[in-house]
Structure 1
């Protein structure tokens, strides 16, 4: 079977390839202007998307079921290991990934923000090397916001050039994860895949334009777990290119390494995507969330407050070392994880301290061998850039040797070793997790994809980590540092205090109550949901259907 042939019910497509232009047709101009994705694609492209959904749906559902099966196996006491099946691939030291495009060879700083007009303007003026236009954890997935995001992305795509220009970011798009549905687009009376819908819409609207401008469509793949999922992405992207008349292999990808399972299969994932992959990025807090989802029910894996441990702890250092090792060995860019700090306003002591913390974190990543790093705020772009530029300058002057091409296997035991973590669970940690989660969820249901709270940039990934930590402490009856034992009674008392505080600050009572229900149910469940985002999405749809207030659906 050819490498780019879909295994799941392949069918021939009746439509001719689309011409390489982005001028809107008369049909496009008369489409509903707030429907996602139907208001963005003409009927020919919509039919192609339906075809693709039908072709890939069975295999995608099987991959999601495989995730659930593995999760059950781990809960029953099994351990994750490096798969033996592809050992010959890992042992082969010769293969390397396809060379990177010119505008993805210099990635010292990547700025990730929601794909909104305001954030796009700030990102393009930030001086970052890459702008990651986010459709996932930072964007509320209402029809209107998804529609507007794709329009913004298209506007930016028309100005991109394949020649790297200092201070002009290269465009990359992060779609939603494989586990999520797009309820606004039904195929055979079932929701389409959100990842498929987001990515196809981006390629259909921008792929040809980006190609004509000498660059290409670049995608960040989130929440990837296995080599089988990477294989699905590779074949699905190839089918998208075929349906849209784009050159095969023009869609280049980077992978966010956010899940525990992905680290065990990292080299296999890179091999499956070897004709497309350009970077591996460390999604640190999503990775900690994945660790909690994987091992949270085990009493020897109870984690302290999230601010009590750093990337130098053994299980996180092993994780980042694994990313750098695979990248160096296979010719991939290693991108460090974002530090969720915000800096802005007048230059006072707090801003100075934020800059110092970011500089230290990026200096550590530069020393470890990362090629660059993410930031979440435009003001931090020059702060994050400085340590990498200094490292590269020393290399050019001969003061630092070029990093060796490493070998050696990942240590599975070190990846799950949290025995030496400093700190403990605290009442302050519980209160902080409740406050940030409720504040964020209430704002998210009203359409706000990111918030800055106590100097931290919070997105949906923050909520996922918070609620899993709270669930774990409650599940194990963890004794907090101040003395009390975590219990449902204590949780409810603290939850009531935080609700009273938020109520005094104003905001919609119905959205606050929805947020409380979502958060509490996820914390007290015997088996917590794998992703709270799915339940929150259902709640968002109910708000969207009622049309009770423009703020909730805009």
Structure 2
């Protein structure tokens, strides 16, 4: 740990240049105060996660909590949404590198989710530069010249609503210590973004808006609600000027949606179907349950009953309480081949039509090239700014067994080999500082890499058979990994293979996929490999 700051109790690398000018002693003091106030309780919440997971590992299936039935049955609503959060029909997501920020703000969308989490490899320089980029973006004063091509990027339009996603509660920020202990990454991301931008946003007549990932329980939402209230008071901001969209991307959270909305009712704006992380969480949460093993990733679509039930329940819950219900990610990348591109767009249309029909108020894309296709459904095809009028109150009750229903589909050699290549290439990119990577026509982030490697771990654990008659074992995985590593090396070339940490990625993938116990997040051991 090199360098200290002027703030008592805070240790972090020495700042210079723009970072030094922005991350002032006052900003640092706010960060320290937040950490001292809220870190102890966060540690208790993370311990409670482990206790709940241990019960599931020992045979208990997730379910709705009888202790909070009065919240689910109560007649209450969230604080009414501000005007600029009522129209979120199309959102684009991506990391916080400067070119991406400009391209996203120039896209033909309603909102841009600037991501410090699954799309962002949390290198120290990358995190600081991301905060500087969003500082400039909030002031509509951002441009960039690509050093490799000389191409100039500048902000062309100013109506896209900027929302920042912070890291999950489980992720540390190893570069920063408060009172000698590593701080939560989520508090680092939140504290800097809020301290640097709330005044500017308030002057423009808007609030400071966030996405919160990977919550599992209403008590965790209550923690965030208290962080927001404390921060508003600290800077003398109006109550509810901070608004959050919570991603329902863990299996435990789908049973806690009313509780999450209630706990954050003064600061909530929406819930979002974070489908890829939700699939990953389904695997991780039910890892010991042999009757819940998923098939190939490619067939686990929103048409699977457990995912469609999750989407419909989220819409019904949100609209009952006056919050928006955001749809999931279209991860496809447009193809330059016209015939192939039409196939891609047809898949995107079908996926987004299903979400619209379920009653979602908006949806996500990862590439601006999909904007026009999705707008035809979620803008031109929408009657009004949202679908809050779609209550789904006449639906049959969605029970726990619907949300846990096993998925049909094969487990194939081709699917397993694809999972290996995707996970290998993503991990290599991540430990080189890239958190969002195009691979085989999809924009892959940490969530999809997590599905790839946890699926194989679960297949090994429960000795699943592939379509070629082979039983999935550690030895078979390691054989396939060696073979697919050669394929990837041929695809990327020897120079890239040697310079972009593919060997380290291969070692990490082998380690976490053959471990006796499932590693909760690949980003935790991967973080040790980052600068």
State the TM-score, normalized to the length of structure 1. 0.86
Matched, 1:304 2:311: no
Q: CA RMSD in A?
A: 2.3
Q: Please state how far the C-alpha of 1:402 moved relative to its aligned partner.
A: 4.8
Q: 1:215 to 1:347 in 2, by over 3 A?
A: farther
The aligned residue for residue 55 of structure 2 is 73
Q: Structure 1: which 5+ runs fail to align? A: 1-13, 16-29, 545-554
Q: Which runs of structure 2 are paired with 1:444-455 in the superposition (5 Å)? A: 444-455=430-441
- 2:16 aligns to what? 32
Aligned residue pairs, count: 500
> What per-residue deviation string (whole Å, max 9, x for no partner) do you get for residues 243-273 of structure 1?
3333332111001110111110100100111
1:209-358 correspondence to structure 2 within 5 Å: 209-343=200-334, 346=336, 348-358=338-348
User: How far has the Cα of 1:471 moved from its partner?
Assistant: 0.1
- What residue number does 2:65 align with? 83
**Conservation of the 8 A alpha-carbon contact between 2:315 and 2:391:** no
Q: Report the equivalent of 2:474.
A: 488
Which of 120, 124, 139 is the aligned partner of 2:120? 139
Report if the CA contact (8 A) 2:92-2:365 is conserved. Answer: yes
CA distance in structure 2 between the aligned counterparts of 1:266 and 1:176, rounded to whole angstroms: 20
CA distance in 2, matches of 1:166, 1:327: 31
Deviations 1:365-388 (A, max 9, x none): 111101110111111112112112
1:380 corresponds to 2:370: yes
Q: Provide the secondary structure at the position in 1 that maps to 2:92.
A: strand
1:125 to 97, 100, 106: 106
- 1:76-106 CA-to-partner distances (Å, cap 9, x unmatched) read 01121211222112112x3111111111111
The yes-or-no answer on 1:403 pairing with 2:387 is no
Give, in whole Å, the separation in 1 of the partners of 2:388 and 2:475. 58
Aligned partners of 2:212 and 2:247 also within 8 Å: yes
- Return the offset for 1:62: 0.6
Aligned residue number for residue 171 of structure 2: 180
> 1:406: how far off?
2.0
Q: Deviations over 1:267-303 (max 9, x none)?
A: 0100111111111110111101101011122110111
Partner of 2:451: 465
Within a 5 Å distance, the mapping from 1:8-19 to structure 2 comes to none
Q: Is the 8 A contact 1:127 1:168 kept in 2?
A: no
| Partner SS for 2:529 | helix
Q: Which secondary structure state, in structure 2, belongs to the residue aligned with residue 501 of structure 1?
A: helix
Q: Distance in 2 between matches of 1:490 and 1:80?
A: 32
Counterpart in 2 of 1:205?
196
Residue 50, structure 1, aligned to residue 39, structure 2: no
Is structure 2 residue 512 aligned with structure 1 residue 522? yes
Provide closer, same or farther for how the CA distance between residues 39 and 62 of structure 1 changes in structure 2, counting only shifts above 3 A.
farther
Structure 1 segments of 4+ aligned residues over 3 angstroms from their partners: 407-410
Conserved in 2, the CA contact under 8 Å of 1:340 and 1:457?
yes
Preserved CA contact (<8 Å) 1:336 1:373: yes
Query: Aligned equivalents of 2:382 and 2:425: distance in 1?
Result: 41
**Is the partner of 1:392 in helix, strand or coil?**
coil
Could you say what secondary structure the match of 2:201 adopts?
helix
* Equivalent residues of 1:218, 1:253 under 8 A apart: yes
Counterpart of 1:9 in structure 2 is: none
SS in 2 for 1:148: helix
In the other structure, the counterpart of 1:155 is: 136
Cα distance in 2 between the residues matched to 1:456 and 1:423: 21
Q: Report the alpha carbon displacement of residue 347 of structure 1 after superposing the two structures with TM.
A: 5.7
Cα distance, 1:404–1:229 mapped onto 2, change above 3 Å: closer
Distance 1:401 1:209 in 2: 30
